[in-house]
């Protein structure tokens, strides 16, 4: 996306359910690279899942003190047996 999408926005929180949670994490990781991370207030993953290593790689790009919350279900196939929790 274009960084101009956030023009005029002070802070944004990314929230997503299921694969949308993985998308929120991926977008947060991308924001560390495109110069818009300062506009990110936090993230919420509602039983967030990603495909392959997308979620762990994206989360590894974020500072340790970045507020991200994952409300996860018990381990099952889609949440990679709990590895996204």
pLDDT average, residue stretch 50-73: 87
Mean per-residue pLDDT over the chain, rounded: 85
Are the C-beta atoms of 33 and 60 separated by less than 8 Å? no
pLDDT average, residue stretch 54-60: 87
Long-range contacts of 32-36 (CB under 8 A, 24+ apart): 32/61, 32/62, 33/61, 34/3, 35/3, 36/3, 36/6
């Amino acid at each position: 996306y274009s960084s101009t999408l956030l023009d005029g926005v002070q802070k944004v929180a990314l929230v997503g359910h299921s694969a949308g949670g993985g998308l929120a994490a991926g977008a947060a990781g991308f924001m560390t690279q495109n110069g818009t991370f300062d506009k990110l207030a936090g993230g919420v993953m509602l039983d967030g899942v990603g495909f392959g290593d997308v979620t762990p790689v994206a989360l590894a790009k974020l500072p340790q003190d970045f507020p991200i919350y994952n409300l996860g279900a018990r381990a099952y196939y889609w949440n990679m047996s709990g590895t996204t929790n």
